[in-house]
Homo-oligomer: A and B are copies of this chain.
Amino acid sequence: MAIDTVYKSITRGVAVQDEHIIKERLQNGLPLKGFWAGVETTVYYADTYAFLVNHDVSIERVAYRTKYYQFLITAILNSLGVPKSKISFVTESESFTYNPEFIKKEHQLSVLASQAGIKACGNEIDETPCFSPMLCPGRQALAEAFLGVHFQLGGEDQRGMFNFGNSVLPRLGFEQKAHLVNPLLPALSGSKMSSSKAASTKIEFLDSADDVTQKIMGCVYDESQLEGSGLLAMVQMVIIPFTRVSASLGIKRGFSCLLVNGEKKTYRLYDDFFSDCKKGRVSGDGIKAGVAEMINHILEPIRQSYASNKEWQDVTDLAYPC
Contact = CB atoms under 8 A, between A and B. Distances in A.
B114 A130 contact: yes
Contact of A98 (B100, B108, B110, B132): B100
Contact of A111 (B110, B129, B130): B130
A149 interface: no
B131 A51 contact: no
B107 A131 contact: no
Interface string A107-127: 110111111111000000000
A132 B103 contact: no
A131 B118 contact: yes
Interface in A77-128: 98, 100, 103, 107-108, 110-118
A59 interface: yes
A132 B111 contact: yes
B134 A52 contact: no
A12 interface: no
A107 B55 contact: no
Interface string A188-205: 000000000000000000
A51 B108 CA distance: 9
Tally of this chain's copies: 2
A116 B129 CA distance: 7
Nearest to A118: B131
A135 interface: yes
B130 A131 contact: no
- Is the contact region of chain A dominated by helix, strand, or loop, or is it mixed? helix
Interface string A258-275: 000000000000000000
Given A115-B134, A134-B115, A134-B134, A48 B107 contact: yes
B131 A115 contact: yes
A108 B107 CA distance: 17
Contact of A131 (B48, B113, B132): B113
Contacts of A113: 130-132
A52 B59 CA distance: 27
A314 to B, nearest CB: 25
A114 B133 CA distance: 10
Nearest to A115: B131
Nearest to A110: B132
B107 A52 contact: yes
A59 B55 CA distance: 31
Contact of A115 (B48, B112, B114, B129): B129
Contacts of A135: 107, 110
B108 A59 contact: yes
Nearest to A57: B111
A112 B51 CA distance: 11
Contacts of A114: 129-131
26 contacts: A48-B107, A52-B107, A52-B111, A55-B111, A59-B108, A98-B100, A103-B103, A110-B131, A110-B132, A110-B135, A111-B130, A111-B131, A111-B132, A113-B130, A113-B132, A114-B129, A114-B130, A114-B131, A115-B129, A115-B130, A115-B131, A116-B129, A117-B131, A118-B131, A131-B134, A134-B134
